[in-house]
Amino acid sequence: MFNQTTAKSSVSSTAMVSGCVQNGCAKEALNLLIKARKEKKNSMDSIILVSALTACRELAALEICQQLHCYSFQVGFPKYRPIQNSLVLTYSRCRKVDLAYLVFKEMGFLQDVVSWNAIISGHGINGQGAWNAIFFVMKFAFPPSH
């Protein structure tokens, strides 16, 4: 039905991409996103960008993640916390902890509990457990969230 629709809006594209990601169809989600971008009928908003990064994370699609990261700067989302947190998680999943840490560090005052959990787990899943201890100690510079 969606493919047959000629009047696709950013809302319908976002719904389809998000729905695919939530139902375990990450590759299909990215294919829909790429198709929508080629048609250039609508731009990506922050919600579809987070969904696309989630799809990249599921597929460990580093190149697409990097393209989406650049796009986030082009459209003015460089300091939008959900996108930054998604980038940290996605770069970590793609085994690019150095890039994940760079995004995390550039977040500055935007860092929150989700950001800290993302960078700590990113180091952990990449076999850098010692970093986990360091980041955990550093985390206490923030007030407890409980």
In single-letter form, the type of residue at position 23 comes to N
pLDDT of residue 126: 85
Asked if 14 and 45 touch (Cβ cutoff 8 Å), the reply is yes
**5 domain residue, yes or no:** no
d(CA 99, CA 142): 23
pLDDT score recorded for residue 133: 62
Q: Is residue 58 part of a domain?
A: yes
Q: Give a yes or no: residue 1 inside a domain.
A: no
**φ, ψ for residue 11, nearest 5 deg:** -65, -45
Distance (Å, whole) CA 105 – CA 25: 31
Structural domain of 37: 10-139
Residue 3 within any structural domain of the chain: no
Is residue 132 in some structural domain? yes
- C-alpha span between 31 and 54 (Å, rounded): 14
Whole-prediction pTM: 0.83
Flag residues of the chain having pLDDT under 70: 1-9, 40-42, 130-146
Q: Is 32 left (phi over 0), alpha (psi -120 to 50) or beta?
A: alpha
Cα–Cα distances in angstroms (integers) from residue 43 to residues 3, 16, 79, 89, 134, in the given order: 18, 14, 18, 24, 40
Residue 55, domain member (yes or no)? yes
Domain annotation covers residue 66:
yes
Residue 81 within a domain: yes
Question: What domain count does the chain have?
Answer: 1
**Residue 138: how many other CB atoms lie within 10 Å:** 12
- Locate 103 and state its tokens: 């995004």
